[in-house]
Amino acid sequence: MEIHGLVCNEMVSSKAICYEDSKTLAMLKSVDEKPISMQIFGSDPESMGKSAMEVSKLCDILDINMGCPAPKVVKNGDGSKLLTDLGLAKAVIQAVVENSSKPVTLKIRKGWSNENLVYKEISKIAEDNGIKAIVVHGRTRQEFYSRES
């Protein structure tokens, strides 16, 4: 039996795709491995919808990042910061699912902190709004990449 893996790219910014950076799309277009899951991040539903339309043409699965803990990402409200605003997270999910021509999946953390564990709520929102699979990074944003939990 032949076994096919799944190639995943590193997350790309929806704002970069929409506004500034033709290089980002060119880089994504140059990937010729398949099947491939491409991951986008951002907290503006409109930019996320537009990038979903573009990036889904290039991949087999489109993944939304709601797990990244990096300060430069969360300071813009992106990545794991979305776990602190489930209304906005839902709007992002809806915009991406509506505009993607490919199945959409979601990467999350358990929550922002142990006082804010939202994995059950966000999973329900995701399921109700057309997300086909969820990957949970089993740490909170506060735990960053620590080995203790």
Ligand X SMILES: Cc1cc2nc3c(=O)[nH]c(=O)nc-3n(C[C@H](O)[C@H](O)[C@H](O)COP(=O)(O)O)c2cc1C
The CB-of-1 to ligand X minimum distance in angstroms stands at 27
**Residue 141 binds ligand X, judged by CB under 6 A:** no
Please tell me what DSSP assigns to residue 45: H
Show the tokens assigned to 5. 């893996």
Among 107, 108, 122, 140, binds ligand X (CB under 6 A): 107
**Residue 67 binds ligand X, judged by CB under 6 A:** yes
**Residue 145 binds ligand X, judged by CB under 6 A:** yes
Show the tokens assigned to 79. 């990545």
The CB-of-67 to ligand X minimum distance in angstroms stands at 5
Show the tokens assigned to 20. 């500034």
Among 14, 24, 39, 80, binds ligand X (CB under 6 A): 39
Q: How many amino acids of this chain bind ligand X (CB under 6 A)? A: 8
List CB contacts of 43: < 8 A, sequence separation 6 or more: 76, 77, 78, 81, 82, 88, 92
Residue 59 annotated among the catalytic residues of the structure: no
Torsion of CA 94, 76, 13, 34, to 10 degrees: -60
Show the tokens assigned to 98. 């509506």
What residues line the site for ligand X (CB under 6 A)?
Answer: 10-11, 39, 65, 67, 107, 137, 145
Catalytic residue numbers?
68
